Amino acid sequence: MMKPRFSAGLRHAWTALCTGVLLWGMHGHAIGQEKVVRVGVIGEFSGVFSIYGQQSRRAIELFMKEHGDTVAGHKVEVIYRDTTGANPEISRRAAQELVTRDRVQFLAGFGLTPNALAAAPVATKTETPMIIMNAAATAFVPTRSPYIVRFSLSQPQVTKPLAAWAARNGIKSVYVMVPDYAPGIDTEKYFSAAFTAAGGKIVGSVKTPISNVEYAPYLQRAADAQPDAILFMSPSGDQGLQFLKAFRERGLDKRMKVLSTGELTDEIVLDTFGDEALGLVTSMHYSMAHDSPENRAYVAAWQKAYGADARPNWYATGAWDGMAAIYHVIRELKGKIDAEPVLKVLKGYQAQSPRGPIRIDDNRDVVQNIYIRRVERVGGKLQNVEFETFENVATEL
């Protein structure tokens, strides 16, 4: 049988077609299409924590709208995966699929510490940079993988300044009430150590469940200890509101103060608190009321995109800053995303964030200002008004 014969032109066309099909199968896009950097974002986009996960997603989408979706000739593509809540196994599996199937060059997001910890071994095994935007308040998280870079916060960062402020302002004794999970345990550990070192006294402590808490018996224990203040931490604003109602119903607001980290008076739940929140003192790295050109522009862009009453919170700001860092890396490396060069670029990274100046230290952790804030009415709306600043606070294990 005679083999079919092709002209040189037809052979060239056939070879080009086959090569194109092969490259399409290998890289998922046609020859000549713009190069892509993929970011896999893992978060709590449904379930009880969805209000926080949606803040981070809105921030990512707004950042890309404001700054474009192309950097150094590379299109930035974000792929979202939902954990539906505190589900470490789902988070681990999502990270594995994003890296091996979707071929992302960055893992990012993470609203809850257990989900971040579950994904860390995947980042290590696959040598994938992991940008923690929101969670991982636990001090040791960056040590769980050499590829983690944290842009959120740690409990030592917010609790030590709060302890120092309390000791200087007439609070001599504190009862500690925290949820029984890693960030709560860290809150008790670092606040208690700093407060005691400053001359204060911890007169008791209790760990509550993470969800569905009945605060009455815990508040009775606190009242029996007769402290000057309760240090309270809540993993969500709804639980914080339940605590405050129970606290005031028992008249404890006449006998003691409440101190807390900024989750309690988070911007996205603050309006629901009403006068219950007035006067509350918290420590945090971001407030919507922060007075800087960067924050005013950020809030204006947020409200233009999402409505005049919409509020960005610290979740949103962590995601915004994480995307800014990813864009910086792509620009510096001209889209060649390999783990070691990425980490080299990020160590020492500095920026003027909506929260204030930030930088990443040699431990791949964020250094930032921490603000002591008081809830006040400003222009008819509740705001976390900053009145004292602790500058350049790092995480010290």
Of 174, 324, 350, give the one whose Cα is nearest residue 256. Answer: 174
Residue 278 falls inside a structural domain:
yes
Same domain, 104 and 79: yes
Same domain, 125 and 204: no
**pLDDT digits over 186-221, tens only?**
999 999 999 999 999 999 999 998 878 899 999 999
Residue 13 falls inside a structural domain:
no
Same domain, 274 and 189: yes
User: How far is it, in rounded angstroms, from Cα 179 to Cα 185?
Assistant: 7
Residue 19: which pLDDT band, with cuts at 50, 70 and 90? very low
State the Cα angle at 201 between 195 and 204, rounded to 5°. 110
Entry pTM: 0.88
Strands lying side by side in the sheet with 148-150: 70-71, 74-82, 35-43, 106-109, 130-132, 148-150
Same domain, 95 and 233: no
CB atoms within 10 A of CB 330: 24
Same domain, 247 and 101: no
Same domain, 238 and 92: no
Residue 339 falls inside a structural domain:
yes
Q: Is the pLDDT of residue 33 over 60?
A: no
- The per-residue pLDDT for 236 is 66
Q: What is the DSSP letter of 235?
A: S
Q: What is the mean pLDDT of residues 32-53?
A: 88
Q: What is the mean pLDDT of residues 278-283?
A: 95
Q: How far is CA 253 from CA 54, 203, 259, in A?
A: 33, 18, 12
| CA dihedral sign, ordered 332, 396, 86, 267 | negative
CB atoms within 10 A of CB 180: 11
Residue 1: which pLDDT band, with cuts at 50, 70 and 90? very low
Q: How far is CA 123 from CA 45, 146, 205, 246, in A?
A: 21, 8, 36, 43
Same domain, 102 and 176: no
| pLDDT, mean over the chain | 90
Q: What type of residue is 384?
A: N
| Residue 233, phi then psi, degrees to nearest 5 | -130, 140
Same domain, 194 and 255: yes
Same domain, 269 and 382: yes
Residue 119 falls inside a structural domain:
yes
Residue 346 falls inside a structural domain:
yes
- DSSP characters over 289-301: T--SHHHHHHHHH
Q: What share of the chain has pLDDT > 70, as a percent?
A: 90
Residue with tokens 């510490």, as numbered in its chain: 113
- DSSP characters over 144-179: G-TTEEE-S--HHHHHHHHHHHHHHTT--EEEEEEE
Same domain, 53 and 128: yes
Structure tokens at 144: 């769980």
**pLDDT digits over 154-192, tens only?**
999 999 999 999 999 999 999 999 999 888 899 999 999
Helix (H, G, I), strand (E, B) or coil at 223: helix
User: How far is it, in rounded angstroms, from Cα 355 to Cα 196?
Assistant: 29
**pLDDT digits over 287-337, tens only?**
999 999 999 999 999 999 999 999 999 999 999 999 999 999 999 999 999
User: How far is it, in rounded angstroms, from Cα 114 to Cα 225?
Assistant: 32
Helix (H, G, I), strand (E, B) or coil at 237: helix
What range does the domain containing 115 cover? 35-153+292-364
User: How far is it, in rounded angstroms, from Cα 258 to Cα 279?
Assistant: 9
Of 140, 170, 133, give the one whose Cα is nearest residue 155. Answer: 140
Q: What is the mean pLDDT of residues 346-359?
A: 98
**Dihedral angle of Cα 235, 81, 99, 144, to the nearest 10 degrees:** 0
Q: How far is CA 21 from CA 7, 37, 74, in A?
A: 21, 21, 22
Helix (H) or strand (E) holding 254: none
Q: Is the pLDDT of residue 26 over 50?
A: no
User: How far is it, in rounded angstroms, from Cα 344 to Cα 47?
Assistant: 37
User: How far is it, in rounded angstroms, from Cα 262 to Cα 371?
Assistant: 10
Same domain, 256 and 382: yes
The domain that contains 183 carries what CATH number?
Answer: 3.40.50.2300
- DSSP characters over 276-324: GGTT-EEEES--TT--SHHHHHHHHHHHHHH-TT----HHHHHHHHHHH
Burial of 370 (0-12, 13-18, 19+ CB in 10 A): buried
User: How far is it, in rounded angstroms, from Cα 120 to Cα 137?
Assistant: 15
Structure tokens at 96: 């594995």
Give the number of domains in the chain. Answer: 2
Same domain, 196 and 132: no
Residue 18 falls inside a structural domain:
no
290 and 356 in contact (C-beta within 8 Å)? yes
Q: How far is CA 328 from CA 25, 71, 321, 342, 346, in A?
A: 30, 9, 10, 10, 9
Of 80, 78, 77, give the one whose Cα is nearest residue 34. Answer: 77
Structure tokens at 217: 């018996």
Residue 137 falls inside a structural domain:
yes
